[in-house]
Amino acid sequence: MRYGLYRAALTAGAALFAIAPASATDLEVTHWWTSGGEAAAVAEFAKAFDATGNKWVDGAIAGGGNTARPVMVSRITGGDPMAATQFNHGRQAEELVEAGLMRDLTDLATKEKWAEIVRPKSLLDGCTLDGKIYCAPINIHSWQWLWLSNAAFEKAGVPVPKNWDEFVAAAPALEKVGIIPLAVGGQPWQNSGAFNVLIPAIAGKEVFLKVYQDKDATVAAGPEIAKVFKAADDARKMAAKSNIQDWNQATNLVITGQAGGQIMGDWAQGEFQVAGQVAGKDYTCLPGLGVNELISTDGDAFYFPKLDDEEKSKAQEVLASTMLNPQVQVAFNLKKGSVPVRGDVDLAAANDCMKKGLDILAKGNVIPAVNQLNTEDTNNQLNDLFVEFFKTPSLTPEEAQKRYVAIIEAAD
């Protein structure tokens, strides 16, 4: 992946108004961005869309994607569609597209040459069904990060860890001074997300792909995944006193030094930024848990349900174009902690952690996001398993692995 050629200060603004409508139109946009950092980022989209003469009507749904997606799907299938809605990259909106409920954006994508600017290519492929493009990818988020509080380790009198094993080894020193080693919230996706970060970090990229891409149950039952379950057992012991719910509450424990670390996607950077913390000084980030430096191509895309209102339909195209405008891409992603999907922007203002991510992407050390490989049904089964595993110390790694294998065997 190549990120160069374009500076945020260059005059890309003119393109923002290229297809602006003659009259203002209100568009309701649903999403699940409600934390401080997320709200600051989404405000950049709203500001840019309002600048076209239209009006962004914010439809934020609290509780995260698992809470928001059923609401979004219910509205679309029930005949009360919003004008635009967030989904993650992958197969979350596949059935809605197949049912003919989503706008075909192929003409706009062709006109604006999305195939030439969106990187990696897999993101636009994820928006494509039967040769037609149904969504606008807007960022690259990666789950593959361990965030550490420098102050917590200083208080514990141990060096800031450089990898997962050092982090596990430092846990007793953290606990001795009343610090929770690992902050994990109670939402199901946080448990499964942490496990899915451990797989490529502990077992490697090849094992990750064999399990989730090839659905190889033999590998899922093997010794490499057994090592992952052992690491997950360490993680749940380290997180035993982490009695919070939302992911950003867990991040706040790291920001305030009440927890040593958190396994979370790079959207956590937005929370550190809002808190005024500086990467490399106040907190440390370890891509691939400091073991295997890989980046997953997760992130977000916007879909546009079919509407009967002609003016709103026109404004949908303006919104899609606005979201992929280079100037807007930079403004949004700097606050979101994610990386632009455009391959022709340069994040001169990127912090140390974002630069690490960009370097890994430039080297091509990437893996697909789990959402791109699994159906929602499979992910929900995995969520249930990992919630039970993290909350039930009596559920052994060996028994959990057997149940994991059964899910992989039955996966589409």
Give the model's pLDDT for residue 109.
98
Residue-wise pLDDT for 93-124, tens only, equals: 999 999 999 999 999 999 999 999 998 888 89
Per-residue pLDDT at 90 exceeds 80:
no
Give the model's pLDDT for residue 12.
38
Region of residue 100 (left: phi > 0; alpha: psi -120 to 50; beta: else): left
Give the model's pLDDT for residue 412.
85
Give the model's pLDDT for residue 346.
73
Neighbour-count burial of 117, counting CB atoms closer than 10 A to its CB (0-12 exposed, 13-18 middle, 19+ buried): middle
**Who wins on pLDDT, 189 or 264?**
264
Which uninterrupted H or E stretch holds 55?
strand 55-60
Indicate the pLDDT class of residue 375, thresholds 50, 70 and 90: confident
d(CA 327, CA 83): 23
Contact 134, 97 (CB under 8 A): yes
Q: DSSP characters for 147-162?
A: EEEHHHHHHHTSPPPS
Both tokens of 353, joined, read: 């952690």
Q: DSSP characters for 2-47?
A: ---S-BTTSS-HHHHTTT--SS--EEEEEE---SHHHHHHHHHHHH
Give the model's pLDDT for residue 347.
74
Indicate the pLDDT class of residue 358, thresholds 50, 70 and 90: confident
Give the model's pLDDT for residue 8.
35
Cis upstream peptide for 159 (omega within 30°): no
Q: Collapsing DSSP states into helix, strand and coil, what is residue 266?
A: coil
Give the model's pLDDT for residue 315.
98
Give 342's contacts (C-beta < 8 A, 6+ positions apart).
6, 117, 118, 119, 324, 326, 329
Give the model's pLDDT for residue 23.
66
User: pLDDT exceeding 90 applies to what percent of the chain?
Assistant: 75
**Mean per-residue pLDDT, 239-262:** 96
**Mean per-residue pLDDT, 151-174:** 98
User: pLDDT exceeding 70 applies to what percent of the chain?
Assistant: 94
Per-residue pLDDT at 142 exceeds 50:
yes
d(CA 259, CA 239): 9
Per-residue pLDDT at 314 exceeds 80:
yes
* Among the ranges given (249-253, 278-282, 283-287, 357-361), the one the predictor scored with the smallest mean pLDDT: 357-361
Give 154's contacts (C-beta < 8 A, 6+ positions apart).
none
Give the model's pLDDT for residue 192.
92
Mean per-residue pLDDT of the chain:
91
Q: Which residues pair with 26 in a beta bridge?
A: 55
Helix, strand, coil percentages for the chain (3-state, nearest 5): 50, 15, 35
* Among the ranges given (19-23, 87-91, 155-159, 265-269), the one the predictor scored with the smallest mean pLDDT: 19-23
**Mean per-residue pLDDT, 197-216:** 97
Give the model's pLDDT for residue 188.
87
Q: Which of 36-40, 86-90, 199-203 has the highest mean pLDDT?
A: 199-203
Indicate the pLDDT class of residue 298, thresholds 50, 70 and 90: confident
Give the model's pLDDT for residue 3.
33
Give the model's pLDDT for residue 11.
35
Give the model's pLDDT for residue 14.
37
Contact 386, 195 (CB under 8 A): yes
**Mean per-residue pLDDT, 302-328:** 97
Residue-wise pLDDT for 382-403, tens only, equals: 999 999 999 999 999 999 999 9
Per-residue pLDDT at 254 exceeds 70:
yes
